Structure 1
Amino acid sequence: MKIAIIGAGALGSVIGFHLAANHAVTLVDPWEEHVNTINEYGLRCSFDDQEQVRLLPATTSADNLEPVEVALITVKAAQTPWAAEIAAQIVQPNGVAYTLQNGLGNAERLASRLGTQRVGQGVTTIGATLLAPGHVRMAGRGPTTFAATPSLQLAYAVADAFRASSLPAGVSTDLASLVWGKLIVNTGINALTALLRVPNGALANIPAAEKLVRRAVEEAVAVACAAGITIGLSDPVAETLAVARATATNRSSMLQDVLRGAPTEIDTINGAIVREGQRLGVPTPFNAFLCDLITALEATTPLRVK
């Protein structure tokens, strides 16, 4: 299977590294230093107390790329329009671009460019940290689930490709519950780790931090219930803390963004909870406060005391 990973940051690089063991994988990312390093030295991945280098092609554009059956979209939300343009150029007419992005709204933005028949939803709990150009660390081997639509055949083929590459995966006909389940977990982890400057595990090990996780998650659950979403989490707070423990050494994607002064995905994670809460009449003051704090953190990056 020919696969393009559009967005070779931490997550995309980890997935691309593993899939390249069995499939023709190309990484597409605008970061030239990262792309050049991969092309010259290979992609280095640290995982399971070992480190390996794998050779696979990387590029910054769709120029001269052959059509692919599947594209995995792993960019940050702000880069979705760019990813949609790349996917529109390289995904075959009967192929599918699966978004594995955080938050809500990315599939709809992709579909506006590619059409609903070429866009699929996926949910992943893989933990990954980008250590340096060309070097990534897997911090959690969580499962990835693909929607049965728009192509059941391709969904199973991609899930099989993941499993053959030592990445747990499956297919679901009820992705809405999984999308919201991941959104709720991200709501409790990402912003707080970014603000506290801690790896995921600290949220589950420090009572004061755990209290904040509970406040964020409980608001998100109330919004999901009001929206009529069955989230599939028997105890959302406990399961969020379990994810934090399972990815204890991982730096969340939002923490990584804040540390390098990049825009975060606050608007599609906690911000999505706030917007849905407003639409449904569910108060979300704590998530609104987290949004305000992250937005202020982004705005004051040049002034930060070190």
Structure 2
Amino acid sequence: MKIAIVGAGAMGCLYGAKLSTVSENEVYLIDVWKDHIEAVRSKGLVMEENGVLVTYDRVKGTSDPEEAGFCDLAIVFVKSTLTSMAVKSNKAVFGPKTIALTLQNGLGNIDLIRAEIGEQNVIAGTTAHGATMLGPGAMRHAGSGKTIIGELDGKQTERIRRISALFTEAGLETDISDNVLGLVWDKLMVNVGINALTGITKLHNGALLDHPEIEALLEAAVSEAHAVAEAKGIRLSFEDPIGHTKDVCKATAANKSSMLQDILNHKTTEIDMINGAIVREGASAGIPTPVNYVLTNLIRFMQK
């Protein structure tokens, strides 16, 4: 399968590297970070896994989507704030039969992608893997977990089975869901509870639960998001999203959330696709979301 990774950050590199180990795959990492792409082209992609450095030299790096051309599968891994721009600027990889898979954080990516290439070509999913960049051409696989993908209408199609099998063959354990939109919301609940609060307080994930006043804000933010999901008829996987979010805090206690990393590195965050999305969806459903409104505006202010 010919595969394009649109956005070769840490997670994009992880999936690109793993998928390149399947002999019949041709994998392109597409990114605007010139030094990173040049390092991949000249030395291969270096991944640290369990303290061991592994070089993946079959993955191809490029900043020119024309070099890749139409692909069978395009995995979108850019930040949610860049989704529309990334699809538009990489139209050369999206042919009439190209399947676009979003494994991004936040809400709204599916709509942004299908607005550019059509609904029938879009599938979605979530990943529990973790990864961080170490520098140009180098990254660390920080944590393993399942990938779950599905058709937007929940059907079990030949293409979704094929992609699931391919990912699993590449060492990315993958399941198929008939409720992928619910899974996106499951992950959104966790991000709503953790990301903005860690960005504001500078706390690692687990430390949010060490401070009762911060834990109370986590509970309130997730509770609002849960109410919005129920109003929209979203079928969640967890009866207790607050408890699940706290479990994730404990399981990733030492982690710096992606939003905290963005704040520390003075980068634009995904706040508008996470807590900001709850504010927007709440307004459309008539559900008040005051805690998420405050968290969203505080992060927006910090970004300035």
Q: Normalising by the residue count of structure 2, what TM-score does the alignment of the two structures yield?
A: 0.91
Equivalent position SS for 1:233: coil
1:246–1:13 Cα change, 3 Å: farther
Name the amino acid aligned to 1:244.
C
User: How much does 1:177 deviate?
Assistant: 1.0
Determine if the alignment matches structure 1 residue 27 to structure 2 residue 29.
yes
1:281 aligns to what?
286
Determine if the alignment matches structure 1 residue 39 to structure 2 residue 44.
no
Q: Normalising by the residue count of structure 1, what TM-score does the alignment of the two structures yield?
A: 0.90
1:108-127 matched pairs, under 5 angstroms:
108-127=111-130
Q: In the comparison of the two structures, how many residue pairs are matched?
A: 299
Structure 2 distance, partners of 1:212, 1:47, is 35
1:180 aligns to what?
185
Determine if the alignment matches structure 1 residue 69 to structure 2 residue 72.
yes
Computed over aligned residues only, the root mean square deviation of the Cα atoms, in angstroms, reads: 2.0
- For structure 2, the 5+ residue unaligned runs are none
Equivalent position SS for 1:234: coil
Equivalent position SS for 2:163: helix
1:82–1:154 Cα change, 3 Å: same
- For structure 1, the 5+ residue unaligned runs are 300-306
1:133-172 matched pairs, under 5 angstroms:
133-149=136-152, 152-172=157-177
Structure 2 distance, partners of 1:12, 1:263, is 18
1:222 aligns to what?
227
Equivalent position SS for 1:177: helix
1:239–1:276 Cα change, 3 Å: same
Determine if the alignment matches structure 1 residue 258 to structure 2 residue 263.
yes
1:160–1:199 Cα change, 3 Å: farther
User: How much does 1:223 deviate?
Assistant: 1.1
1:107 aligns to what?
110
User: How much does 1:133 deviate?
Assistant: 2.1
Which deviates more, 48-57 or 260-269?
Answer: 48-57
1:204–1:157 Cα change, 3 Å: farther
Equivalent position SS for 2:186: helix
Name the amino acid aligned to 2:2.
K
1:203–1:51 Cα change, 3 Å: farther
1:245–1:165 Cα change, 3 Å: farther
The Cα offsets for residues 7-53 of structure 1, whole Å up to 9 and x where unpaired, read as: 11122112212222213211001111221222222222223343322
1:179–1:6 Cα change, 3 Å: same
Structure 1 distance, partners of 2:116, 2:240, is 37
Structure 2 distance, partners of 1:220, 1:15, is 30
Equivalent position SS for 1:4: strand
CA contact (8 A) 1:73 1:98 kept: yes
CA contact (8 A) 2:126 2:148 kept: yes
Identify the match of residue 78 of structure 1 among 78, 81, 92. Answer: 81
1:143–1:209 Cα change, 3 Å: farther
User: How much does 1:176 deviate?
Assistant: 1.7
Structure 1 distance, partners of 2:31, 2:180, is 27
CA contact (8 A) 1:128 1:250 kept: no
1:148–1:20 Cα change, 3 Å: same
User: How much does 1:216 deviate?
Assistant: 1.5
1:133–1:98 Cα change, 3 Å: same
Structure 2 distance, partners of 1:11, 1:219, is 29
User: How much does 1:270 deviate?
Assistant: 0.3
CA contact (8 A) 1:70 1:97 kept: yes
1:13–1:203 Cα change, 3 Å: farther
Equivalent position SS for 1:68: coil
Determine if the alignment matches structure 1 residue 189 to structure 2 residue 191.
no
Structure 2 distance, partners of 1:202, 1:43, is 33
Structure 2 distance, partners of 1:208, 1:46, is 37
Equivalent position SS for 1:21: coil
Which deviates more, 237-246 or 275-284?
Answer: 237-246
